[in-house]
Structure 1
Amino acid sequence: MSDNIIQLNEQLIKTELKELVRSSVGETLNELLDKEADELINAEKYERSSERRGYRSGHYQRKLTTTSGDVTLKVPKLKGIPFETAIIERYRRRECSVE
């Protein structure tokens, strides 16, 4: 009878899980920022419509420190309408739970 022993590297698993959470938080926040910009402009990217209120003018990158680590956000820049996001306060660089 052979005894099979499985060894797990707990530190590696924790690191991989933290990275997975950090990347999914970043993707989710970036999607929310894009959707919010779409709603403000009243049109999606590359969409032409008569109800359009502004235009996209690229984005700028901004770091946000979360409990999972630093996340790079792509904040949309808009022409013709100010972009005030409800997701992240202006000049906020850290999530409330980090402080």
Structure 2
Amino acid sequence: MPQEESVLRLGRDEALEAARLWQECGDAREFACRVLGGVMNALMDSEAQQMCGAGRNERSDGRENSRNGYRPRSLKTAVGDVELEIPKLRHGTYYPEGMLARWSRVDTS
């Protein structure tokens, strides 16, 4: 039986970090919550970076906005609460509408 192909491939450094995190957590639920939170935070950072026109602490002629910290948010999932950091912008607002519905569970039926 062929092994199912992974959607997300980890490089050597990421795999080592995941192994370290697994040992630190020692529990599959906590590990799943922390990995999911890390992936979602990275996606939100990427979206905020695109909206600003430059990365964090990066100078660019195309910069249209700048970052203003993070707003904490806890997302309830079937495996547990996932702690998220939603990027804040100096001008305008950012909320990951496509990723999170406001104040709801991610696994509603």
Task: Give the TM-score band, short-chain normalised.
Answer: 0.7 to 0.9
Larger of the two Rg values belongs to structure: 1
2:70 is equivalent to residue 59 of structure 1: yes
Question: Which structure carries more relative contact order (alpha carbon 8 Å, separation 6+)?
Answer: 1
Q: 2:105 aligns with which of 91, 94, 97?
A: 94
- CA offsets, 1:19-44, max 9 Å, x none? 11111011111111111101111110
Q: For 1:29, what is the secondary structure of its paired residue?
A: helix
* Cα deviation digits, residues 51-87 of structure 1 (max 9, x gap): 0110100011011001110011100110123213232
Provide TM-score, normalisation by structure 2: 0.69
CA distance in 1 between counterparts of 2:95 and 2:29 reads 30
**In the alignment, is residue 82 of structure 1 matched against residue 93 of structure 2?**
yes
SS of residue matched to 2:31: helix
Contact 1:57 1:76 in 2 (8 A): yes
Say whether the 8 Å CA contact 1:41–1:81 is kept in structure 2. Answer: no
User: Using the alignment, how far apart are the partners of 1:73 and 1:84 within structure 2?
Assistant: 12
- TM-score of the pair, normalised by structure 1: 0.75
Structure 1 outlier segments of 4+, above 3 Å: none
In the alignment of these two chains, the number of paired residues is 83
Gaps of 5+ in 1: 1-14
CA distance in 1, matches of 2:75, 2:104: 5
Distance between the aligned counterparts of 1:25 and 1:43, measured in 2?
Answer: 25
Task: List runs of 5+ in structure 2 lacking aligned partners.
Answer: 1-25
